[in-house]
Amino acid sequence: MPKRNDIKKVLVIGSGPIVIGQAAEFDYSGTQAALSLKEEGYDVILVNSNPATIMTDSEIADKVYIEPLSLDFIERILRKERPDAILPTLGGQTGLNMAKDLSEAGILDDLNIELLGTKLSAIEEAEDREEFKDLMERLHEPIPESTIATTVDEAIAFADEHGYPVIVRPAYTLGGTGGGIAENHSELLAIAANGLELSPVTQVLIERSIAGYKEIEFEVMRDAHDNALVVASMENFDPVGIHTGDSIVTAPVQTLSDREVQMMRDAALKIIRALKIEGGVNIQMALDPKSYKYYIIEVNPRVSRSSALASKATGYPIAKMAAKIAVGLTLDEIINPVTGTTKAEFEPALDYVVVKIPRWPFDKFSSADRRLGTQMKATGEVMAIGRNMEEALLKAVRSLEIGAVGLDDVTFDNLSDEALMQALMPARDDRLFMIAELLRRGISLEAIHDKTLIDEFFLDKVLHIIEIEQELAEHVNDVDYLQYAKKNGFADATIAKIWHQSMSEVRQLRHSKHLLPVYKMVDTVAAEFESKTPYYYATYEKENESVVSDKKSVIVLGSGPIRIGQGVEFDYATVHAVKAIQRAGYEAIIMNSNPETVSTDFSVSDKLYFEPLTLEDVLNVIDLEQPIGVVVQFGGQTAINLAQPLTDNGVQILGTTVEDLNRAEDREAFDQVIKQLALPQPVGKTATTVADALSAAQEIGYPVLIRPSYVLGGRAMEIVSSDEELKDYMQRAVKVSNDHPVLIDSYLVGQEAEVDVLSDGETAVIPGIMEHIERAGVHSGDSMSVYPPQYLSQKVQHEMVNAAINLAKSLNTVGLMNVQFVIHENTAYVIEVNPRASRTVPFISKVTHLPLAQLATRVMLGEKLADMGFETGLVPADDMVHVKAPIFSFTKLPDVDSLLGPEMKSTGEVMGSDTTLPKALYKAFVASNIKVPQYGNVLFTVADADKEEALTLAQRFNDLGFAIFATAGTGSYLAANALPVEILDKISESDNNSVVALREQKLQIVINTTQADERAESDGRLIRNAAIENAVPLFTALDTVKAFLEVLESRSFTVKEMQ
């Protein structure tokens, strides 16, 4: 069927901000979809609230709207643009929900807009529990038996009928709190009772547990002609029981015979055909490891995280194909873009093994519950490709960038065998390392299988790695063992550690024996047909397929897995760098390990190496490609950390030199720069022992800001106010040493602001000043940020611009740099310099219309800013106001305290733009899913130090007609200041407390601040959790409340009595 000509204009809905469970994969799918539709000649309108995305670049669609993904705003866009159709299946759950809302509100009918890809009825059938059950029954496809219980007796009755174990899931609790698996009657009694108690609607779902079954996923496509195919099959290393987003996943399936594969394929195709999906679907299934029995767990009627993974794992671009199918093309009409000769109607054949490992945020959130379950907790993932499982697994491990190069780098010396066995279940994020350690200690594979039910095939792969570790130890410098270890994915660094040598010694031995990796192509067809895809992975085999072209090339290092502090913003910059390199006439080569991103779409660069970003892996590619240089400025801390070792190995780093990068990052050297330039800076010191730290802090004077050196995203950064807190911090958060000093700065109270600088060493351009809403103390990545500044004085702005220009010149910056300031008593103090592209690059690029990453790349390649028409100084702003707001994923991580501080906690960002600050703020709040109420009740529960400030805020709420509620201490202060206030009891005292009020929807806004020493206060924590659970706007910084009030006041009319 040819593509449809009755539609001309299509709106693509993005997925909004990055949150746990909905991340960069939707930038990839949305970008692919938009480009794919444009390629077919359609007018593409794109809407997304997330500025840190490639999809919101003006060249991706004909028109791009960065607006809140709310009914109200989408409707405005629809009425303005009048598209013929909407493609909602590529923007995650957000996109689908938006489509549902638009339809239910009658807007689609009203404007005669069609939904492409998947009918709403199909979405309902896949997502609504009851309808899904009905559909599966009609198709004779089994799903785990389940029921909804409102009493413990009902729960017991179900379990008696269907057998134990059963899973208990309380309805509407934060992150599934209170759920669990009951193995027997007495456990169920306890869990069900607790779950019912915790559920605000006194309801639990009881489901027959299939934990321990093999978890299998199929990525399936179908077109309007009913052609259907399986793009990829995947098998989880971790059996059913852990969310697939938190599971180690392999592709293709490994332990299934063809009979089992075909049985499940039949089921998958039957389901996609029954749902009449036109596009892609993800189907999750559970297979009994001891019979043909299987269950359908879940069907996602849209492109998903798994489909991004499947696309990268197979080379088959699912989202691109899905978009073409949505406009009527059939799979046999679409050319497979990988081969360029065969049709998209084929099922990819892999001739390699893929392993995905999730990247969890527990390095940042030390208080979080590391146990894995049905709620996804990972912020990102890595993928690795090898010619065997061991190779793919070890490459994935070192791609994680968690300080472990091999399975021997995370040890559990303080745990006994028994304790370690116990720790296997329920699984934690580091279970793979535990398994390795147990096998190393000689615990049998069978014992580990019995405990975890992980397939023996997979456990044996880990055992094999341990055996190689041991053989290596017995055969130092033996080339045969070296080769064997390399074929099984061992890093030089791991071998070096086992041999008590340096990594470069192993590398030299390897080179002297010509033991070098080859690069094989990912071609979707297992070499059956010739392909032109420039998509490669390293392995130790006979034939190298990566042909180095005659063209001069530049390698861009990506940013690896998405984690707190290093998000999709860096992928954005990476992709832009590639574009600029290509435009300058060079071949652009990307190295990255993250399957979710646009940068690992093989059509983005001239060549893609899907490889870990470690020194060894990067040097190997450089050895082959011999690029003119390597770009490290856009890959966040991942890439910048490689600058020094690469330079040491004779590699040319483009842009700012390593020497100058070090001058910015090394405390002492940087102090010299600051002193030379006579820039104001908070007093700071470096300490290498606890005693040093104490004396430094006393000298500076409390409060001080303390953190380890060389960090990203404020890891382990805290404000401490006393010797006790400092000692506690030194014990808890860091291992201080000569190599790893801690930095101690005077904590200046004041507003924060920052600038990005584009410099070629001669000209330094400041594209814009960003003013933070929250004062210093809240991490810049967690602050709302406004461009252009609304409150900063001319004097301060002038100081910032001058400081940034002087820093850029003094540090010989070639490329980008970010400078952060605190504005204390109307003076701009420099608090931090990052000599690389920062997370603000996409935002500032979008609001200033200056493609900063591209300009910076051109500069690194030798162009002069003056020749491009730039001159030193601040670029004037236009008359729009733009607000960037952080987005958090607290609902997924119930144990992480939602209080904001110097440690970054946000996972994503949104942007609100309009003609005035209140309007832009309003959009930013709406885009953040913060309900902006017109009236209602506000709860104040604030620290003593904040009471005075809170009072003025409470008065403003009162003037707007809001009723003020407060906890005892805050309430009495407000009441004493003649404010009408209703005081709520402590949670332990009575039911007339804040948590109950939140559950009963009595409170519309919660404002909570705490003293630094109140870390353990329980009521505050419970109140914050209850606010998050019940989706009530929660503010933990009074500055944010002020901004919120500005919005409320701007939307309100004055009601004033006659005098």
Partner 1 sequence: MKKRYLVLENGSIYEGEAFGADTDVMAELVFNTGMSGYQESITDLSYRGEIIVFTYPLIGNYGVNRDDFESLRPAASAIVVHEIARRPSNWRQMMSLPEWAEKSGMPGISGVDTRALTKELRDFGVMKAALVDEVTEETLSTLKNFQSSNTMVADATTKTQYQNPTDGVSIALIDFGLKNSILRSLAKRGANVMVFPADVAAETVLAANPDGILLSNGPGDPQDAAYAIPTIQALEEKVPLMGICLGHQLFALANGAETYKLKFGHRGFNHAVRHLSKERLDFTSQNHGYAVDRDSLANTDLVVTHEEINDHTIEGLRLKKHHAFSVQFHPDAAPGPHDAEYLFDDFLTMIADAKKETTQNA
Find the shortest distance in angstroms from Cβ 387 to partner 1.
5
Q: Which of residues 979-998 bind partner 1 (CB under 8 A)?
A: none
* Nearest by Cα to 51 from 774, 913, 836: 913
> Using CA atoms, how far apart are residues 880 and 66, in angstroms rounded to an integer?
13
- Residue 227 contacts partner 1 per CB under 8 A: yes
Find the shortest distance in angstroms from Cβ 537 to partner 1.
11
Asked if 694 contacts 879 with a C-beta cutoff of 8 angstroms, the reply is no
- Residue 290 contacts partner 1 per CB under 8 A: yes
Region near partner 1 per CB under 8 A, out of 167-175, 288-296, 744-752, 810-818: 288-296
Look at the block and give the residue holding tokens 């805050």.
970
> Using CA atoms, how far apart are residues 634 and 728, in angstroms rounded to an integer?
36
Find the shortest distance in angstroms from Cβ 271 to partner 1.
15
- Between 111 and 453, CB nearer to partner 1: 453
Query: Which of 39, 226, 450, 948 touches partner 1 (CB under 8 A)?
Result: 226
- Between 543 and 739, CB nearer to partner 1: 543
Find the shortest distance in angstroms from Cβ 449 to partner 1.
9
- Between 620 and 994, CB nearer to partner 1: 620
> Up-side HSE of residue 944: CA atoms within 13 Å toward CB?
4
- Between 349 and 691, CB nearer to partner 1: 349
Region near partner 1 per CB under 8 A, out of 70-78, 220-228, 414-422, 779-787: 220-228
Distances (CA, A) of 361 to 52, 369, 370, 565, 713: 20, 11, 9, 10, 12
Look at the block and give the residue holding tokens 């705490």.
1010
- Residue 295 contacts partner 1 per CB under 8 A: no
Query: Which of 525, 619, 844, 885 touches partner 1 (CB under 8 A)?
Result: 525
Q: Which of residues 241-260 bind partner 1 (CB under 8 A)?
A: 252-259
Query: Which of 169, 243, 265, 892 touches partner 1 (CB under 8 A)?
Result: 265
Query: Which of 387, 772, 779, 1021 touches partner 1 (CB under 8 A)?
Result: 387
- Residue 341 contacts partner 1 per CB under 8 A: yes
* Nearest by Cα to 295 from 207, 192, 377: 207
Strands (DSSP E) found in 151-213: 166-170, 180-182, 204-208
- Residue 817 contacts partner 1 per CB under 8 A: no
Contacts of 1058 (CB under 8 A, 6+ apart): none
Known binding positions for Mn(2+): 284, 298, 300, 820, 832, 834
Burial 927-964 (b: 16+ CB within 10 A, else e): bbbbeeeeebbbbbbbbeebbeebbebbebbbebebbb
Query: Which of 125, 345, 430, 616 touches partner 1 (CB under 8 A)?
Result: 345
Asked if 392 contacts 466 with a C-beta cutoff of 8 angstroms, the reply is no
Find the shortest distance in angstroms from Cβ 546 to partner 1.
13
Query: Which of 145, 347, 363, 408 touches partner 1 (CB under 8 A)?
Result: 347
> Using CA atoms, how far apart are residues 781 and 904, in angstroms rounded to an integer?
6
Query: Which of 61, 389, 742, 874 touches partner 1 (CB under 8 A)?
Result: 389
- Between 76 and 343, CB nearer to partner 1: 343
Q: Which of residues 449-478 bind partner 1 (CB under 8 A)?
A: 455-457, 460, 464
Asked if 868 contacts 857 with a C-beta cutoff of 8 angstroms, the reply is no
DSSP state of 22: B
- Residue 969 contacts partner 1 per CB under 8 A: no
- Between 266 and 1013, CB nearer to partner 1: 266
Q: Which of residues 531-570 bind partner 1 (CB under 8 A)?
A: 541-543
> Can you spell out the DSSP letters for 681-727?
---EEEESSHHHHHHHHHHH-SSEEEEESS-STTTT-EEE-SHHHHH
Query: Which of 289, 708, 936, 969 touches partner 1 (CB under 8 A)?
Result: 289
Judged by DSSP in three states, 592 sits in: strand
- Residue 331 contacts partner 1 per CB under 8 A: yes
* Nearest by Cα to 614 from 302, 314, 394: 394
Judged by DSSP in three states, 745 sits in: strand
Find the shortest distance in angstroms from Cβ 541 to partner 1.
4
Find the shortest distance in angstroms from Cβ 278 to partner 1.
15
Helix 456-474 and helix 492-499, axial crossing angle in degrees, nearest 10? 50
Query: Which of 71, 261, 447, 690 touches partner 1 (CB under 8 A)?
Result: 261
Known binding positions for Mg(2+): 284, 298, 300, 820, 832, 834
Distances (CA, A) of 980 to 946, 961, 1004, 1053: 19, 11, 17, 21
* Nearest by Cα to 300 from 90, 19, 16: 90
In this structure, the strands spanning 873-874 and 764-766 are parallel
- Between 440 and 520, CB nearer to partner 1: 520
Judged by DSSP in three states, 584 sits in: coil
- Residue 688 contacts partner 1 per CB under 8 A: no
Asked if 724 contacts 1015 with a C-beta cutoff of 8 angstroms, the reply is no
Find the shortest distance in angstroms from Cβ 222 to partner 1.
11
Find the shortest distance in angstroms from Cβ 850 to partner 1.
45
* Nearest by Cα to 410 from 355, 423, 418: 423
- Residue 278 contacts partner 1 per CB under 8 A: no
- Residue 225 contacts partner 1 per CB under 8 A: yes
Q: What's the start-to-end Cα distance of the chain, in Å?
A: 74
- Between 160 and 332, CB nearer to partner 1: 332
Find the shortest distance in angstroms from Cβ 303 to partner 1.
22
Find the shortest distance in angstroms from Cβ 721 to partner 1.
57
Find the shortest distance in angstroms from Cβ 450 to partner 1.
14
Query: Which of 388, 662, 810, 972 touches partner 1 (CB under 8 A)?
Result: 388
> Using CA atoms, how far apart are residues 1050 and 1059, in angstroms rounded to an integer?
24
Query: Which of 11, 13, 126, 229 touches partner 1 (CB under 8 A)?
Result: 229
> Can you spell out the DSSP letters for 632-665?
-SSSHHHHHTTHHHHHHTTPPBPSS-HHHHHHHH
Known binding positions: 129, 169, 175-176, 208, 210, 215, 241-243, 284, 298, 300, 707, 746, 748, 752, 777-780, 820, 832, 834
Known binding positions for ATP: 129, 169, 175-176, 208, 210, 215, 241-243, 284, 298, 707, 746, 748, 752, 777-780, 820, 832
| Residue 147 one-letter amino acid | T
> Using CA atoms, how far apart are residues 423 and 437, in angstroms rounded to an integer?
12
Find the shortest distance in angstroms from Cβ 497 to partner 1.
25
- Residue 526 contacts partner 1 per CB under 8 A: yes
Query: Which of 26, 352, 747, 940 touches partner 1 (CB under 8 A)?
Result: 352
Contacts of 611 (CB under 8 A, 6+ apart): 384, 395, 399, 537, 538, 591, 592, 593, 617, 618, 621
Size of the site for partner 1 (CB under 8 A): 52
Contacts of 899 (CB under 8 A, 6+ apart): 1008, 1010, 1024, 1036
> Using CA atoms, how far apart are residues 235 and 241, in angstroms rounded to an integer?
14
Asked if 789 contacts 833 with a C-beta cutoff of 8 angstroms, the reply is no
- Between 222 and 947, CB nearer to partner 1: 222
Region near partner 1 per CB under 8 A, out of 33-41, 341-349, 724-732, 752-760: 341-349
Region near partner 1 per CB under 8 A, out of 50-58, 303-311, 344-352, 738-746: 344-352
The answer, yes or no, to whether the previous bond of 680 is cis (omega within 30 of 0) is no
Q: What does the binding site for partner 1 look like in residue numbers (CB under 8 A)?
A: 225-227, 229, 233, 252-259, 261-262, 265-266, 289-291, 331-332, 341-343, 345-353, 387-389, 455-457, 460, 464, 520, 525-530, 541-543
